[in-house]
């Protein structure tokens, strides 16, 4: 089977699966991005989260909090207030941790050059921790992500270790990060539209001279359409690709069965 046909098979399989995420649907702030990518033959999304503030109650035997082994006390994709956190903390029995997690979007790409286009858009839009990983079977995955997260422990063995004033201070920071995350998502959407339109024009005029514009220069705003989008998986526990401080391309190899 040639690579193009195999990619189509992978995309069809992914989009035929049910959404097993905790929420069960794509987050509102990334619906248009998911729709735009899944509507292109060279891309499909495998998991996504628009960004969120969460309060986790972890294992009291260790400081390291693993999502799969903890209790979710609070999850919100909108600005959070102190009273909601205080109420949620009353349910904590272990080590409660407040976290802000920015956008994470995993996209499988047909060819490396397709991934490079998307990677450039992500970097120029502020998601500078994005990277490309290539599997042994030829799967080309792009993880779109940034570094402006937040993770702070609040309690130990169910006992609150900070003041309510400090919690209020943390939430102001988390909410500011949420607002910045939304701005980057909007910028990414606008620049992605520009890049895909430019690619279409270039492909339709391979011998013509097309003026090249840097992706970061796209400042035009287009009205976003929240209507139906292609079905995709949004598994929250989808394993993140290995971080790379250099915003360039990173390549890793997985076992044969990947």
pLDDT digits (tens, 9 = 90+) for 219-253: 444 444 433 333 333 333 343 333 333 344 454 43
Q: Supply φ then ψ for residue 211, to 5 degrees.
A: -65, 125
Q: Quote the pTM value.
A: 0.75
Q: Report, as an integer, the average pLDDT of 16-33.
A: 78
Distance of CA 138 to the CA centre of its chain: 22
What's residue 51's pLDDT? 95
- The whole domain housing 155 covers 3-257
Residue 254's pLDDT is: 39
- Cα distance from N-terminal residue to C-terminal residue, the chain: 17
Neighbours of 63 (CB within 10 A): 11
Number of domains in the chain: 1
Least confident among 32-36, 98-102, 226-230: 226-230
Query: Which residues is 56 bridged to in the sheet?
Result: 72, 97
Residue 214: per-residue pLDDT: 47
Range from 16-30, 143-157, 184-198 carrying the lowest mean pLDDT = 16-30
Position 58 scores a pLDDT of 81
What's the CATH number where 120 sits?
3.30.1960.10
Question: Which residues have C-beta within 8 Å of that of residue 145, sequence separation ≥ 6?
Answer: 102, 103, 104, 105, 127, 129, 130, 240
Instruction: Give the pLDDT confidence of 46-84 residue by residue, as tens digits.
Output: 999 999 999 999 864 444 444 555 789 999 999 999 999
- Cα separation, 6 vs 22, in Å, equals 29
The C-alpha atoms of residue 80 and residue 74 are separated, in whole angstroms, by 10
| pLDDT one-digit tens code per residue, 117-166 | 999 999 999 999 999 999 988 899 999 999 999 999 999 999 999 999 99
Q: What is the pLDDT of residue 204?
A: 73
pLDDT confidence of residue 21: 61
DSSP codes joined into one string, the chain:
--HHHHHHHHHHHHHHS---SSSSS--GGGHHHHHHHHTSTTEEEEEEE--EEEEEEE-TT-S---GGGSEEEEEESS---HHHHHHHHTT--SEEEEEEE--EEEEEESSHHHHHHHHHHHHHTT-TT-EEEE-TT--EEEEEE-S--EEEE-EETTEE-S-HHHHHHHHHHHHHHHHHHHHHHHHHHHHHHHHHHHHHHHHH-TTS------GGG---------S--------TTPPPPPP-SSSS-------TT-
* Residue 134 · residue 251 · CB < 8 Å: yes
């Amino acid at each position: 089977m040639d690579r193009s046909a195999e990619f189509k098979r992978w995309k069809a399989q992914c989009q035929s699966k049910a959404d097993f995420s905790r929420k069960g649907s794509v987050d509102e702030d990334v619906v248009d991005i998911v729709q735009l990518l899944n509507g292109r033959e060279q891309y499909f999304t495998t998991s996504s989260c628009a960004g969120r503030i969460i309060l986790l109650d972890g294992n009291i035997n260790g400081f390291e909090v693993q999502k799969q082994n903890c209790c979710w006390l609070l999850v919100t994709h909108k600005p959070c207030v102190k009273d909601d956190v205080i109420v949620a903390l009353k349910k904590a029995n272990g080590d409660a941790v407040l976290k802000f997690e920015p956008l994470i979007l995993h996209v499988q790409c047909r060819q490396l050059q397709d991934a490079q286009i998307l990677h450039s858009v992500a970097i120029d839009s502020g998601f500078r921790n994005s990277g490309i990983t290539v599997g042994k079977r030829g799967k080309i995955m792009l993880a779109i992500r940034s570094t402006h997260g937040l993770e702070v422990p609040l309690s130990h063995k169910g006992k609150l270790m900070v003041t309510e004033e400090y919690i209020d201070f943390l939430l102001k920071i988390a909410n500011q990060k949420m607002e910045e995350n939304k701005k980057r998502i909007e910028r990414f959407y606008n620049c992605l539209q520009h890049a895909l339109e430019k690619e279409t024009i270039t492909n339709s005029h391979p011998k013509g001279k097309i003026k090249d514009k840097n992706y970061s220069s796209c400042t035009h705003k287009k009205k976003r359409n929240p209507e139906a989008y292609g079905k995709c998986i949004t598994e929250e526990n989808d394993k993140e690709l290995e971080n790379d401080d250099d915003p360039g391309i990173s390549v890793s190899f997985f076992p044969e069965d990947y």
